[in-house]
Every structure is written in structure tokens, then in C-alpha cells.
Structure 1
């Protein structure tokens, strides 16, 4: 078994709490389904946002998901390199898995699909 990193990112249209929280849940749910992981498989989740998102901590939404209460989560700000994708939420999920690197599905939704088209798997 290895610890693998799973990347994920999404964007929102507005700096509003509900929109940020919904986007975080949508991204995490997609990551969970595509990679067949469960909360007990997760070592930790590192969440970043761009500096224009100040209405909510995306980790708050993940903590409220059933079974995720004990998963270590941390939020931080992205480095403000210009030009960067605005209103962006990024995840780095560290998971215990038997999957090889090439079996990991990195999830990029909305405008964040432009960040890493080289590692996004399409089905």
C-alpha cells in the first residue's frame, strides 16, 4: 500500500459562502467516486483558495460530510502568482491505496479544467 496524492480543483462564480461550500462538496464527491476511496483511506486533505475567496473555508463543507468528521483538513491561501485562475479552490488529498500513480484520477471541474489538462483523465 502507498500514500498517493490526488489533485482536485474547481472554480466558483462568486465569493459567496454557499457557493464555495457547494463547490467543495461537489469536487470531493467526484474525487471520491472516481478514485473509489472512503474517509478511512484518507491521510489528510490540504485545501487552498485564491485570495479572492474570503466568504468561507471550503474544509467546513468537507467536515460536515458523513464519515469525514475525523479526517485531518487544512485550508491555506494559494500563492498569488499573476496571472492565475481566479476564484479557484484546490485540493491535495493524501490517500492510502494500492493503486498505481497512473490509476489515480485527478479531478478538475469548471474553469479549473485549464490548470492541468495533461493529467486529467476523460472517460
Structure 2
């Protein structure tokens, strides 16, 4: 078994608590479903947001999900690069798995598909 990183990102339209929390749940659920993982498999989740999203901590949404209470979570702010994608939430999920790196399915939703069109679903 190895520790693998699973990347994901999603955008929101507004800097408001509910859209940020909902988008975080949507993204994490897609990552978990696509990769067949459970909270018990997760080592930790690193969450970043762009500087224009300051209405809430995305980790709040994950902590309310059943079975996720003990998963270590950390939020941070993305590096403010000029011209970068705005209103974006990114996840780096560290998971114990038997899958190879090539078998890991990274998830990019909404406007975040522009970050990695090669990994985004059509």
C-alpha cells in the first residue's frame, strides 16, 4: 500500500458561505466516488482557496460529513499570482491505496477544468 495524492479543484460564482461549503462537498464527493475511497483511507486533506474567497473555511463542510470527523484537515490561501483563476477551491487528498499513480482519478469541476483540461471530464 502507498500514499497517493489526489488533486481536485472547483470554482464558485460568489464569495458566500453556502456556495463555498456546497462546492467543497461536491468536489470531495466526486474525488471519493471516482477513486473508491473512504474516510478511513484518508491520511489528510490540504485545502486551499484563492484570496477572493474569505467567507468561510471550506474544511467546515468536510467536518460535518459522516465519518470525516477524525480526518486531519488544513486550509490555506493560494499564492496570489496575477491572472490566475479566481474563486477557486483546491483539494489535495492524501490517501492510502493500492492504486498506482496512473490509476488515480483527479477531479476538476466547473471553471477549474481550465487548470487541467487533460484531467477534466468532458
The aligned runs of 1:34-45 (5 Å cut-off) are 34-45=34-45
TM-score (norm 1): 0.97
Return the alpha-carbon distance in structure 2 between the equivalents of residues 81 and 114 of structure 1. Answer: 16
Structure 2: state its 5+ residue gaps.
Answer: none
TM-superposition CA deviations, 1:9-62 (whole Å, max 9, x none) = 000000000000000000000000000000000000000000000001101100
Does residue 67 of structure 2 align to residue 80 of structure 1?
A: no
**Structure 1 SS opposite 2:3:** strand
Residue 31 of structure 1: aligned partner: 31
Post-superposition offset of 1:117:
1.6
Gaps of 5+ in 1: none
- CA shift for structure 1 position 119: 3.1
Deviation at 1:118, TM superposition (A): 2.4
Find the aligned partners of 1:52 and 1:12 in 2 and give their Cα distance.
11
RMSD, aligned α-carbons: 1.0
Q: Number of matched residues?
A: 122
